[in-house]
């Protein structure tokens, strides 16, 4: 089953932008409140690496899509399964990163130690999300005449 690409890419980019703004704001607030102390720089590096690569990948895909010439009657579609999988995994991953940051003050480790430890589950999860997004992005197909296989 295939669906038009335009709305799906916008939805995934919106999810990642919203999640990134939330994570960035959370990190700013925790830094201002001194939650990371002298280790703020390391905390920023760790947290930024959890969402910026994916955000930039999606932005790049949107820019590429907007700048590529398309035939007037062509409909670009993507595989519905890969979109739904990417959508679900993206929301789950961003929620996991958010919860990791929100719970970090309540664990027996220092916040930086906990963020470093969280990479044991965040990095593999991020890899799965990136693989799903990659499959979504390469599942594009152009169909002439405006017909859709839904």
Helices (H), 33-146: 40-67, 80-103, 111-138
* Tokens found for residue 2: 């295939």
Q: What is the pLDDT of residue 127?
A: 95
Kindly give the confidence (pLDDT) of every residue in the chain, 150 residues in length, as a single tens digit, with 9 standing for 90 and above: 888 887 898 899 999 999 999 999 999 999 999 989 899 999 999 999 999 999 999 888 888 877 877 665 677 889 999 999 999 999 999 999 999 999 988 999 998 999 999 999 999 999 999 999 999 989 888 665 544 444
- Long-range interactions of 127-130: CB distance < 8 A, separation 24+: 128/89, 129/54, 129/86, 129/89, 129/90, 129/93, 130/53, 130/54, 130/57
Q: What is the pLDDT of residue 147?
A: 46
Q: How far is CA 90 from CA 5, 30, 64, 108, in A?
A: 17, 24, 21, 29
Domain ranges of the chain: 2-146
């Amino acid at each position: 089953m295939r669906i038009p690409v335009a709305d799906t890419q916008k939805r995934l980019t919106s999810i990642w932008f919203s999640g990134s703004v939330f994570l960035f704001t959370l990190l700013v607030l925790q830094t201002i409140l001194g939650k990371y102390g002298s280790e703020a720089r390391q905390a920023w590096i760790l947290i930024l690496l959890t969402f910026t690569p994916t955000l930039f990948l999606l932005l790049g895909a949107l820019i590429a899509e907007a700048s590529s010439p398309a035939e007037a009657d062509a409909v670009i579609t993507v595989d519905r399964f890969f979109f739904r999988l990417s959508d679900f995994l993206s929301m789950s991953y961003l929620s996991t990163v958010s919860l990791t940051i929100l719970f970090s003050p309540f664990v027996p480790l220092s916040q930086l130690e906990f963020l470093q430890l969280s990479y044991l589950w965040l990095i593999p999860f991020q890899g799965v999300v990136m693989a799903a997004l990659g499959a979504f992005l390469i599942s594009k197909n152009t169909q002439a005449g405006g017909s859709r296989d839904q």
